Structure 1
Amino acid sequence: MRLQGKVAVITGAGSGMGKATAELFAAEGAEVVCADISGKQRDVAAAIGDAALAVQTDVAEEADVRAMIGAAEDRFGRVDILINNAGFGGGMAPLHEQTAENWDRIHSVNLRGMFFGMKYAVISMMKTGGGAIVNTTSATSIVGWKHHSIYGAAKAGVNQLTKTAALDYADHNIRVNAVAPGTIWTGLVAMSEEHPEPPPGGFRLPGIPLDRWGTAREIAAAALFLASDEASYITGHVLPVDGGYCIGFSGMGAENTGAPD
């Protein structure tokens, strides 16, 4: 029960990594706010029970994010943890084929939405003596990935927001870290609703040192560590959870049909 007595707000909680994180955090004793734009967060919260609240949230809209944090305070009295996870991919093409509209669309959620989540979580946490924020970034924020210029740029911006906020709010006992997933089976790169997880042992994935896809549960476990008191002396860190991809980068993005989450 590593999160007993804590209140966690989780964006993108309707599916994939956000859903896995909400379920794990609830199992570890947290009261959880499941926020998503899809409506699927209602089923996630219902399965968890009284310790969960579902909130309809478009993280690209500042008013929605403000209301999300307000709903957490109204229901549970405080916000101790923000898992700033909502995001989406798209626009996989060479840079010269990209459009301003695609830039704005991807950045509106993957960077602007992260900013809003951090802003209003920090305001809440400063009132209650501190907290922990974990942003979901991507392996594409650390190494290049073919045809992912806009997505990678947005996620690299999340890394810098993470490091700067860690400095800005250390005096307020607010830790800010990030998880950088690699190729994760669920989430943005899920291949089908019928097969949400790889087979036992995982599908092989050439170019990844651990030679398999990651799972949403493994990302949730990393977020749990960074959000818990076990990481009480860690802030401003971007943790790759990528099967060794970033340290063993071999240009796999040129041939891989998937994409890092």
Structure 2
Amino acid sequence: MRLTGKTAIVTGGASGFGAGIVRKFTAEGARVMIADLNIEGAKDLRAQMGDHAIAQKVDVSDGASVMKMEQAALDAWGHVDILVNNAGVTHLPTPMERVSEEEFDRVVAVNMKSVYLTARTFVPLMKDRKSGVILNIASTAGLSPRPRLNWYNASKGWMITATKTMAVELAPEGIRVNALCPVAGETPLLKSFLGEDTPEMRAKFLSTIPLGRFSTPQDMGNAACFLCSDEASMVTGVAMEVDGGRCI
């Protein structure tokens, strides 16, 4: 019960890695807001979590929607201890010059602008309490980019740098900021990463991972729980690889 008494928001929490983090956090005693554009999925997961969870519809790329999420959290708990910026999108594997401007703008808005918007909204609350933890879900794509996912790779590299600069600025305020860098996993984005989800494409991708499997929501939940718990009180500014050795 490492998170007993803690309150946490997990964006993109209705499915994939986000749902794995929600499940682990509630199992460890936290009260969790499942924040997602897919409100029905968030409500379904909340029903499984019982009284420890609440559901909130949010568009993380929209400032007004993020502010509504903040107000809902304050109404429910009065404060927020942990913020997990998990919501993310990608474009299909495409030569960089053929990615449409609309796709590019969406990647920037959801993967990058959202971190600014949640920081603008929640950092003042954490500063007032002189405590808090922010966890950004980046990717091995930001450390070891793969061809044809150029602008997604770049957005995750940006997130890693944002994590480090947030960490060094907010450390005197008692706020820790870290990132997780998973390899691809069994999430709604897997097909987008592979281009086509076939046994052959999966085998080709898995051959690049020394441990021979994808990241799972459970892997992410376990790593997130550690970084957001008091056990990691001396850890800030790291981009932890949860990738089975892919980046070695």
**TM-score normalised by length of structure 2:** 0.91
Counterpart CA distance in 1 for 2:138 and 2:98 is: 24
- Residue 34, structure 1, aligned to residue 34, structure 2: yes
What does residue 22 of structure 1 align with?
Answer: 22
SS in 2 for 1:50: helix
Counterpart CA distance in 2 for 1:183 and 1:116 is: 26
Greater share of helix: 2
Counterpart CA distance in 2 for 1:41 and 1:123 is: 26
Alignment check: 8 A CA contact 1:115 1:161 kept: no
Counterpart CA distance in 1 for 2:119 and 2:162 is: 9
Residue identity matched to 2:79: R
Structure 1 segments of 4+ aligned residues over 6 angstroms from their partners? none
Residue identity matched to 2:3: L
Equivalent positions of 1:1-261 (< 5 A) are 1-39=1-39, 40-189=41-190, 205-247=206-248
What does residue 256 of structure 1 align with?
Answer: none
Counterpart CA distance in 1 for 2:53 and 2:212 is: 36
Alignment check: 8 A CA contact 1:33 1:53 kept: yes
Alignment check: 8 A CA contact 1:138 1:182 kept: yes
Alignment check: 8 A CA contact 2:91 2:99 kept: no
Counterpart CA distance in 2 for 1:100 and 1:51 is: 41
Shift of 1:99: 2.5
Counterpart CA distance in 2 for 1:78 and 1:154 is: 29
For these two proteins, the number of residue pairs brought into alignment is 237
Shift of 1:242: 0.6
Counterpart CA distance in 2 for 1:88 and 1:124 is: 27
Shift of 1:118: 2.5
Alignment check: 8 A CA contact 1:17 1:187 kept: no
Q: State the superposition RMSD in angstroms.
A: 1.6
What does residue 197 of structure 2 align with?
Answer: none
**TM-score normalised by length of structure 1:** 0.87
Shift of 1:88: 1.4
Alignment check: 8 A CA contact 1:187 1:216 kept: no
Shift of 1:75: 0.3
SS in 2 for 1:207: coil
Residue by residue, what CA displacement relative to the aligned partner does 1:19-76 show, whole Å, maximum 9, x if unpaired? 1111110110000011000121111112111221110000000111111122111101
Shift of 1:190: 6.0
Shift of 1:187: 4.2
Alignment check: 8 A CA contact 1:12 1:18 kept: yes
Alignment check: 8 A CA contact 2:61 2:114 kept: yes
Alignment check: 8 A CA contact 2:46 2:54 kept: yes
Residue identity matched to 2:211: L
Instruction: Determine what percentage of the aligned residue pairs are the same residue.
Output: 39
Residue identity matched to 1:231: A
Residue identity matched to 2:100: T
List gaps (5 residues or longer) in structure 2.
Answer: 193-201
Deviates more, 1:122-131 or 1:79-88: 122-131
Rate the CA distance shift 1:93–1:190 in 2: closer, same or farther, 3 A.
closer
